[in-house]
Amino acid sequence: MSKPITPTTNPLLAIFWIAALIIPLSCFAEGSNPFPIPKGITNSLERNQIPLDAVSISVIEIEPGRPGKQVAKTLLNWHANEAMNPASTMKVLTTLSSLDILGPQYRWRTNVYTDGVIHQGTLKGNIYLQGTGDPKLVPEELAKLMKDLQGLGIQKIDGNLFFDRSAYAPSVMETNTIDGESLRAYNVSPDPLLYAFRTLSFQLGKSRTADFIDLSYSPALSQLKVVNQMQLVDKPCDNWKSNIRFNLDPENSSNTDQAITAQFSGTFPSSCKGVNYNVVALDANTFLTQGFAAAWELAGGAWAQAPTGKSGNVPLAARLLLQFEGINLGDDVQDINKYSNNVMARQLLLTLALEKMGKPATTANGDLVIQSWLKQNSMNFSGLVIENGSGLSRNEAISANQMNQLLLTARNLPISDIFYNSLPIAGIDGTMRNRLMTQLRKFLHLKKKPEARIKTGSLADVRAIAGYVMSKSGKLYAVTSFINHPNAWKGLEAHDQLLTWLLEDGPEPKQAR
């Protein structure tokens, strides 16, 4: 019979038992945390009544490995294996996988077909637009398409417009919101023929030359009239929206060539230099019909009669007039990550499905493509939930460790720099433009300035950050933190404390050794 092992029979075990009496139990908590959470962070969380159990943090230092391969060591690991709601930081997964799978030079195609003929400058027949989900078919791009049409010898169109949206399954184009705000631009549904984010953007500001309000809008619509009945008042610009009344008549009419009146009334502060009032209030066919008609007229084209655009697939007998290619994926990803554009991210996920699994594209197929990409890159993400790829979801989930695995993987991919440059820069642009301003001023004297490139995320009850910090000594950290709690909106300070700690080089040099 073997003897029981005790401290007296095993000296090594004795040392361990003594150490266990000295070392705080907190050092063995959650995922073997190499360093304690900095006091500035815990104090902020406590002050804002956010419990530590509602927070996850993962920090890794990224170091050069063998040639062309970067490796990482863990610095901070708190609840980092727990899948949590990441809000818009989920766009990191969608954009990174898409850049690697499709390539940064990938371009969406908008095909223009006709069932007619061109005779003496007139296209006698209908135009069919077939979309593949270009997320940035904006007025400037549509103007180029019009020039291409004119390059075919067309000056006048004698026919109607038809819109082929067969690239997407009908279910992904339905309007489903998590907050009931269906008229807000961030809730626009995916559309293979999405034009200008289906958003009317009005620009308002006091005139420089006279005492009245300048009001313009984009994109141009062929049947839109704007009535401005606002009065200038001497007030701060802070809450300019609260005293404006907006009315669109008719709203959501299915008559695509009907005259529309946008009326503004109420008061507008004279201190406002230029603000945007965005509204999603027209159905997709009306918006695209009137946008296309206006763009054609602005290019100098004419209509035999105003088009009444309708949904309809391209007939088998129709012939391709032109294939218009939009902005490349590398540029689109800049917009998605820097400005957290939800519908662009959703269309990117659907593009993966469309390109790799065929039409009609579904979110489920986009999910399968990303899961396959993760496995190919040796990432097995248990607990990952992809609902739409944008983070505008109550169901999407990923862990902080998994997010940092993505950030590390990105450094070893050919598209590393394109992805890195797409993230918002603290104090400079995107959703981080006004963050860490005071902290970054401390480093103005340094030749090589530290920086934080961070994708942000926020929903009711969610606050998130994920990205890179280049410290004052040149170290590169990947950092992810999620807060899932009713007081999450108060968590910005704690996240800024975390980023500041890393800008200053995180752990003290003695600890780091």
pLDDT tens readout for residues 328-370: 999 999 999 999 999 999 999 999 999 999 999 999 999 999 9
Percent of the chain at pLDDT above 90? 82
No. of helices (H) and no. of strands (E), the chain: 13, 20
pLDDT of 26: 32
- Residue (of 462, 405, 497, 393) closest to 81 by Cα position: 405
**pLDDT tops 70 at residue 25:** no
Query: Quick one: average pLDDT of 140-159?
Result: 98
End-to-end CA separation in angstroms for the chain: 45
Q: Could you give the angle at the alpha carbon of 478 between the alpha carbons of 402 and 390, nearest 5°?
A: 55
Residue pLDDT, tens place only, 423-445: 999 999 999 999 999 999 999 99
Query: Quick one: average pLDDT of 285-302?
Result: 97
Residue pLDDT, tens place only, 82-106: 999 999 999 999 999 999 999 999 9
CB-CB contact of 95 with 344 (8 Å): no
Q: What would the DSSP string read from start to end of 111-138?
A: EEEESSEEETTEEES-EEEE----TTB-
Query: Quick one: average pLDDT of 405-431?
Result: 97
pLDDT of 506: 78
**pLDDT tops 60 at residue 24:** no
**pLDDT tops 60 at residue 184:** yes
- Give, to the nearest 10 degrees, the angle between helix 91-102 and helix 400-411: 30
